[in-house]
Amino acid sequence: MTERLKELGLSIDKQLDNAVFSATNNDGMLFYWIDHPLGKALISAYGAHIISYHPSNQSEQFWLSKASALDGSAPIRGGVPICWPWFGNTRQPNHGYARTQIWKLASINTTEENTEITLALSDDMLDKAEFKFSLECKFTVGEELQIDLSTTNLDNHPIELGAALHSYFATHRDSAKVSGMGDSFLDKTDDFAKKTQTEFALSEETDRLYTQPNHHITLTHGNGHQLKLAHQGEDTVVIWNPGDTKAEGIADIHAGGAQEYLCVEAVRTQNPIQLGVKETYTLSQHLSVPI
């Protein structure tokens, strides 16, 4: 692990509990390193953004661009960006503002099975929020990984929002296969034309909103190993990779980087979340890596 911290220019500041350490880089950005016997993870306070996870003795599950900003000047390219309170570019900034805020540590709890670490964002941490809210992201790190993003409406009127866990999974893109998304999708590369396809391999630009997703999805790598995903609270699964030509124009994807990942995103966007006063909504993604 310490290799990974070194690569990213991080040094450990403090031990926070049995398995959790805080670390900073030269730009003063804060990270949480989870060193549980069953699983390892690295989470940035900027965006509550997990950038690394692997079960012990298994390989890294997330892709992180070598050209990604890690200084708070732009969203991190890789890991799991949190898109909130909207998904996509229906408003600006693209994918909302939660991924460019510094979240605060809310709680940590380590047991023999896992470490739960929760980061929080609230309206009083922003310059100007449209409504009063509490937003928490709980990461449960062990042999498996669970990410739970929970929004509570603290305002005195109903609110409406969207959200996504925009995960970048490390894989050899051109030999990866994804199954279980349902067969109906809107093709963003073709003006959101409605199309049907059950399973596919990837080589060129792919930007698809699967509108009737199964809650269980399998990413099969070229070597036959699998990553199992389970979603809750989503109404769409987005499969995204810019393809090589478009990636050349994306400054924070390193050369050849687009071939090393595939985004499989748990998204709530078709039917915005309607939250009554004091109500809570949770969007979740769960990863397991069968041996």
d(CA 210, CA 236): 5
Binding mask 193-222 for ligand BG6 (x = CB under 6 A): --------------x---------------
Q: Does 268 bind ligand BG6 (CB under 6 A)?
A: no
Binding mask 52-91 for ligand BG6 (x = CB under 6 A): -----------------------x----------------
Q: Residue 235 or 265: which CB sits closer to ligand BG6?
A: 265
d(CA 218, CA 257): 22
d(CA 89, CA 86): 8
**Among all residues, which ones are annotated catalytic?**
166, 265
Least distance in Å: CB of 68 to ligand BG6? 11
- Residue of the chain from 186, 265, 273, 284 that contacts ligand BG6 (CB under 6 A): 265
Q: Does 166 bind ligand BG6 (CB under 6 A)?
A: yes
Q: Residue 141 or 165: which CB sits closer to ligand BG6?
A: 165
Q: Does 94 bind ligand BG6 (CB under 6 A)?
A: yes
Q: Which residue is closest to ligand BG6 by CB? A: 94
- Residue of the chain from 66, 177, 188, 221 that contacts ligand BG6 (CB under 6 A): 188
User: What number of chain residues touch ligand BG6 (CB under 6 A)?
Assistant: 9
Whether residue 93 is preceded by a cis peptide bond, meaning omega within 30 degrees of 0, is yes
Contacts with ligand BG6 by CB under 6 A lie at: 75, 94-95, 166, 188, 207, 238, 240, 265
